[in-house]
Homo-oligomer: A and B are copies of this chain.
Amino acid sequence: MRYLEDLTVGERILTRPAEVTESEILAFAREFDPQPMHVDREAANAGPLGGLSASGWHTAAIVMRLIVDANPLDGAPWLGLGVDELRWPNPVRPGDTITAEIAVLAITQSRSKPSHGIVRTGITVRNQKGEVVMTLSPNLWVARRPL
């Protein structure tokens, strides 16, 4: 597994792609975000996003799965303390294929717990046309290499 010392500012990891199907969009939204723009194709066409689109929280959840599968910390947990600047600049449509790129932006030793550090990351999620559909900056809690 990778420790704090094994990470480098500027390194980038690209995840596999994930197709987002209409049935997945509808199933997630019916459970967690049952607004017309996410669950009703007719109403969505007349709505603010001009067509059916995935809940932003669905996109976030799919990207979490892509990160887990990419395993950027080689078995160490992806332990998010929080996320800054989560944005959805373009909708995710049924049939879109999305891919996430993870960049290491900053590495800071923890002052309160010397065994760990905080890794600030920047994630950019694009669809098959290269349009950015989500960006976010998670802060991770990562163990230092044991002495």
- Among B60, B79, B82, the residue within 8 A (CB) of A57 is B60
A81 sits at the interface (CB 8 A): yes
Interfacial chain B residues near A83, Cβ < 8 Å: 83, 86
Chain A residues in contact with chain B, CB under 8 A?
A: 28, 31-37, 47-49, 55-58, 60-62, 64-65, 68, 77-88, 141
Report the separation of the CA atoms of residues A34 and B55 in the bound assembly, to the nearest whole angstrom. 20
Report the separation of the CA atoms of residues A131 and B57 in the bound assembly, to the nearest whole angstrom. 23
Q: How many copies does the complex hold?
A: 2
Interfacial chain B residues near A77, Cβ < 8 Å: 35-37, 47-48
Report the separation of the CA atoms of residues A84 and B60 in the bound assembly, to the nearest whole angstrom. 14
A62 to chain B, nearest CB (A): 7
Query: Would you call A84 and B81 a contact (CB within 8 A)?
Result: no
- Among B35, B37, B56, B80, the residue within 8 A (CB) of A88 is B80
Known contacts A57-B61, A61-B33, A68-B35; A48/B82 CB under 8 A: no
9 closest A-B pairs (Cβ-Cβ)? Answer: A82-B87, A32-B61, A83-B86, A57-B61, A32-B65, A33-B64, A57-B64, A32-B64, A57-B60
